[in-house]
Amino acid sequence: MTRLILQSPLSGWCLPLAEVPDPVFAERMAGDGVAIDPTGNVLHAPCDGVIVPMQGAKHALTLRAHCGHEILMHVGIDTVQLGGEGFEPLVQPGQAVTVGQALLRVDLDLIARRARSTVTPILLTSGGRVLRRSEHCALAAGDFLMEVEMDAAAAPDPSHSAPAGSGLSRFFDVAFDHGLHARPSALIAAALRPLDAQVTVIAGGRGGNARSTVALMSLGIHCGDRIEFRATGRDAGKAMVALEALLGPAGDTGATTSGEPADPVAAKQIESRDQVRRVAAVVACSGIAIGHATQLTHAEIVVAERGTGISDEMAALDQAIAQVKAHLEGMAGGVEGGGEQQTILSAHIELIQDPEIAARAGEHIQRGKSAGFAWRRSLRSVVDTLQASGDLRMMERVADLRDLENQVVQVLSGRPPGHARTLPERAILIADELLPSQLMSLDANCIVGICTARGGPTSHVAIIAAAMGIPALVAAGPQVLGIADGTLLVLNAEHGHVDIAPSDSERVAIEQDLAGRAAQHAADLLAAQQVAMTRDQRHIKVYANLGALAEAAPAVAKGAEGCGLLRSEFLFLDRRLPPDEDEQAHEYQAIAVALGSRPLTVRTLDIGGDKPIAYLPLPREDNPALGLRGLRTSLWQPQLLRTQLCAILRVQPAGQCRILLPMVTDVGDVRVVRALLAELRTEMALAELPALGVMIETPASALLADQLAREVDFLSIGSNDLSQYTLAMDRGHPELAARLDALHPAVLRLIGRAADAGNAQHKEVAVCGGLGSDPLAIPILIGLGVHEVSAVPAMIPRIKRVIRSLDTRACAALAQQALELPDAAAVRALVERWRAAQPPAPAPATHESSQTISGE
């Protein structure tokens, strides 16, 4: 391990990278570090070292410290296009320099006028960790900037040469306007870094490490240059796929540098992808689509840094905010069916009025900055705080803030709010990260799929995609950003991958499959209003999970026999004060009416942990998922629970509502709530109390389900949290998303135990977590003794069809086999095989009087 102190190379304001107006730097794709908004015009050496030659790149300078660290100083943003104008080098490539030595004179005025920003990222491009850094403070050149540490083994080899031995080789014609400057270099390096491969780029007879941004930049590769990449190692094939995705098709493919490929498996993968290339991703909204790649790069709008006067800029900002707010309100009013989209728009309306964000922007304007610059910087500092929280759900809210940043800056630049681009037919949207307003402003009829390079499965955009019924993949990595517009894609949001340019025969097969699915869906919808009976005449109730009033009527139209889970959080999140009893009662009543006389299961507030709310100052927790969550939060703030219970008890007719308690550990939790309900019954002079149930979503509650079942009226299994806590995998973790599967036998054993306990007490046992919406899981759940599922409304018709095809005794035998398997993949494989051997579902019975769902 070597440590190094870096001094500030410039005088100016030091800011975190997240505030740099360029995603490649802001997302640390080019390396970790800090940025300086310079006031001084001479760049100094941050430490002793040697100047790394960077052909034709006067706007950026790399210093290699004696310990091997490489420090890239990129003066301004988009300064490559100045072609060296405004920069006067004071040192030569290869020259040894000492700390503090003047390296480069910069014409700051020219850069401020002609480039996007003067902000200068100072980056550690050779890996390593930043141990301490300055941020949000004024610095003079020579002040402490950061302390960095690097594993000696990670130090780049300055004499990097082509990998020895055999490997893969591809030639590419560089199509980036300014050649391989910082941004494309960083994208390439970031795509290759996670792979187990040595990759060398060869240009003009010189070689460099393709996993290093600096090495790529230093080769001075121009637009139109033909360059070669050579790769060896286990992931050599994957490296070539990633490069093709970023650089376009290889000019001369398939050649190996010598003899056999380094990795025959990797080479085979490439060969089989001569026709189809596949990029893996995380499923955010299930489904399959075929369509044309439509890149939605939202080029950042350039804003002037300097303002034209404090009062003018303040007025301009206020006006722009008001305009965007009015636009958002208009959209919220016009959203068909409301639901999630309306909830998200309401959250945006709240956020845009946030006094803290406005105050921070005001401070920047007071310091002479323009309205756009001030707004952007203010939001980015909030983004930075969210990102620093390390909380994945909070980090997913970053997209909402970026969205508001863009919308206001767009208005300030003279464009109307919500200005959207026209899409081709059957568009598969590809974006680094899709912003909620972007998606909502596009013509949904043209969108058949979504694939983002970043983002998580619980981001708002994923929720909107689900509400719109659009299959979506997230976290596909930067390689998808290189797919050319118009390329035919098959987006498989069931198995989590995108196939690029499928062959004709594959296209035809997918189209036939989709046509078959559409016909099946239409048939399922026709039968959806009838109850789902198994072959052996067991009625399995299919309820809907709801998150807003607007979802209730459409759920009934899809065949919901009631609501098995109303996530009441929707009333509490993204606002400054909690809803009072009247507001809640009004909302629950409206949902009850929309459901006709069907049961409405209101889950009490499930916040805290990963769903913090502003007006509840929850204590900081090291492990929020294991802290004050769900019922624990309610019991910690009993007034909140009392108000909510009063509101539920007011819903008419009495008996339509059921009360469901989240995150229960043991009977102690139930008894406290029972006592409170008894008190309210007297106070409100009620003849009877609604049914009370508990969520089984902690391993403790599953193991103690026999005790719980004696004290409550029903059990509802929350498979999402039950898997998270049983498998010890964060449900929001994108890296673990593929393994967090509730069909894991460990989770199934707990479900089976809870179901047995409920059945022994003749209490209803339901599943309301994601497993209830998974057609493959239904036979297992029924086999384990579950007789009610609560699913996302869109899945209800299909779930009912699956139920009609089942026999409970055969399901029980299948479930017993599943419990003995080693992992979730084996369970899925078992059910797939079993299902293929089952006879098709009989047509639903036509004696509608006895079979249709009761209610209006």
Q: How far is the CB of 275 from Mg ion (least distance, A)?
A: 43
d(CA 3, CA 462): 42
**Cβ contacts of 472 within 8 Å, gap of 6 or more:** 283, 284, 285, 449, 450, 451, 452, 461, 462, 465, 466, 493
Cα→Cα distances 134→30, 439, 848, Å: 19, 37, 72
Strand ranges of the sheet holding 226-232, from the earlier edge strand across to the other edge: 168-173, 226-232, 198-203, 206-209
| Residue least distant from Mg ion (Cβ) | 721
| Per-residue interface string for the shown chain with Mg ion, residues 804-833, x marking contact by CB under 5 A | ------------------------------
Nearer to ligand PEP, 121 or 564 (CB): 564
Strand 42-44 relative to strand 206-209, pairing: unpaired
Applying CB under 6 A, the residues found at the interface with ligand PEP are: 565, 567, 606, 697, 718-721, 768-769
Q: Which is nearer to ligand PEP, 180 or 768 (CB)?
A: 768
In whole angstroms, the minimum distance from the beta carbon of 768 to ligand PEP comes to 5
Question: Least CB distance from residue 675 to Mg ion, whole Å?
Answer: 24
In the bound complex, what is the minimum distance in angstroms from residue 569's beta carbon to Mg ion? 10
Nearer to ligand PEP, 250 or 751 (CB): 751
What are the phi and psi torsion angles at 29 (to 5°)? -65, -30
Residue 239, contacted partner among Mg ion, ligand PEP, none, CB below 5-8 A by kind = none
Query: 186 is in the binding site of which of Mg ion, ligand PEP, none (Cβ under 5 to 8 A by kind)?
Result: none
* Helix ranges restricted to H, 229-304: 236-247, 264-272
What is the closest distance, in whole angstroms, from the C-beta atom of residue 782 to Mg ion in the complex? 22
Nearest residue to 705 (alpha-carbon basis) of 742, 751, 741, 668: 751
- Per-residue binding string, Mg ion, 673-702, x by CB under 5 A, is ------------------------x-----
Q: Which does 372 bind (CB under 5 to 8 A by kind): Mg ion, ligand PEP, none?
A: none
Nearer to ligand PEP, 198 or 716 (CB): 716
Of 561, 540, 600, nearest to 852 (Cα)?
Answer: 561
697-712 as b/e, with b when 16 or more CB fall inside 10 Å?
bbbebbbbbeebbebb
Active site annotation includes 460: yes
Q: Helix 310-334 and helix 398-412: axis angle, to 10°?
A: 120
Choose the one of ligand PEP, Mg ion, none that binds residue 567, judging by a C-beta under 5 to 8 angstroms depending on kind. Answer: ligand PEP
How many Å apart are CA 429 and CA 449, to the nearest integer? 6
Q: Which is nearer to Mg ion, 439 or 722 (CB)?
A: 722
Nearer to Mg ion by C-beta: 176 or 725?
Answer: 725
H-type alpha helices, 16-87: 23-26
569 vs 697, beta carbon nearer Mg ion: 697
How far lies 284's CA from each of 312, 474, 476, in Å?
44, 6, 11
Nearer to ligand PEP among residue 37 and residue 697 (C-beta): 697
Residues sharing a CB contact under 8 Å with residue 294, sequence separation 6 or more, in sequence order: 423, 424, 427, 428, 429, 430, 485
Binding segment (CB under 5 A) for Mg ion, from list 47-55, 167-175, 617-625, 721-729? 721-729
Give the C-alpha separation, 282 to 270, whole Å. 22
Q: Please state the closest distance from residue 610 (CB atom) to Mg ion, in A.
A: 10
**CB distance 742 to 729 below 8 Å:** no
For residue 719, the partner it binds in ligand PEP, Mg ion, none, with Cβ less than 5 to 8 A by kind, is: ligand PEP
Nearest to ligand PEP by Cβ — which residue? 769
CB of 708 to ligand PEP, least distance (A): 16
Indicate the residue among 241 and 766 with the shorter CB distance to ligand PEP.
766
Cβ distance 62 to 209 under 8 Å? no
Report phi then psi at 333, rounded to 5. -70, -30
Report the distance separating Cα 548 and Cα 587, nearest Å.
9
Answer yes or no: 285 catalytic: no
Q: Report in angstroms the alpha-carbon separations of 281 from 29, 286, 430, 472, 825.
A: 19, 12, 12, 10, 17
User: CA torsion, points 283, 287, 292, 296, in degrees to nearest 10?
Assistant: -40
Q: Which residues pair with 105 in a beta bridge?
A: 42, 88
Catalytic hit among 69, 460, 744, 787: 460
Specify the residue, 372 or 609, whose C-beta has the smaller distance to ligand PEP. 609
Choose the contact partner of 734 out of ligand PEP, Mg ion, none; CB within 5 to 8 A by kind.
Answer: none
Q: Provide, rounded to whole angstroms, the least separation between the CB of residue 416 and Mg ion.
A: 41
**What angle, 0 to 180 degrees and rounded to 10, lies between the N-to-C axes of helices 796-804 and 504-527?**
80
At position 758, the amino acid (one-letter code) is: G
Q: Residue 397 and residue 385: Cα distance in Å, rounded?
A: 11
Shorter beta-carbon distance to Mg ion: residue 694 or 827: 694
**Residue 569 interacts with Mg ion (CB under 5 A)?**
no
| Partner whose footprint covers residue 396, from ligand PEP, Mg ion, none (CB < 5 to 8 Å by kind) | none
Which residues have CB under 8 Å from 303's CB, separation 6+?
A: 370, 372, 373, 376, 409, 412, 413
Q: Could you give the dihedral angle defined by the CA atoms of residues 589, 590, 593 and 595, in that order, rounded to the nearest 10 degrees?
A: -110
Which of 420, 475, 478, 418 is closest to 450 using CA atoms?
475
Minimum CB separation of residue 694 from ligand PEP in Å reads 12
* Position among 721, 741, 788, 807 found at the interface with Mg ion (CB under 5 A): 721
Least distance from Mg ion to the Cβ atom of residue 793, Å: 18
Buried/exposed 265-303: b ≥16 CB within 10 Å, e otherwise: ebbebbeebeeebbbebbbbbbbbbbbbbbbbebebbeb
User: Across the strands, what pairs with 97?
Assistant: 49
Residue 333 CB coordination number (10 Å): 10
Q: Which amino acid is residue 821, in one-letter code?
A: L
Half-sphere exposure (CA, 13 Å, Cβ side) for 106?
32
Nearer CB in complex with Mg ion: 58/603: 603
Q: Please tell me which residue in 14, 657, 768, 811 is annotated as part of the active site.
A: 768
The least CB distance from residue 739 to ligand PEP, in Å, is 17
DSSP state of 310: H
Q: 475 or 747, CB closer to ligand PEP? A: 747
What is the smallest separation between the CB atom of 724 and ligand PEP, expressed in angstroms? Answer: 7
Count residues binding Mg ion (CB under 5 A): 3
Binding of Mg ion at residue 718 (CB under 5 A)? yes
768 binds, among Mg ion, ligand PEP, none (CB under 5 to 8 A by kind): ligand PEP
Residue with tokens 């301009």: 316
Query: Using CB under 5 A as the criterion, which residues of the chain lie in contact with Mg ion when the complex forms?
Result: 697, 718, 721
Catalytic residues, by residue number, are 460, 768
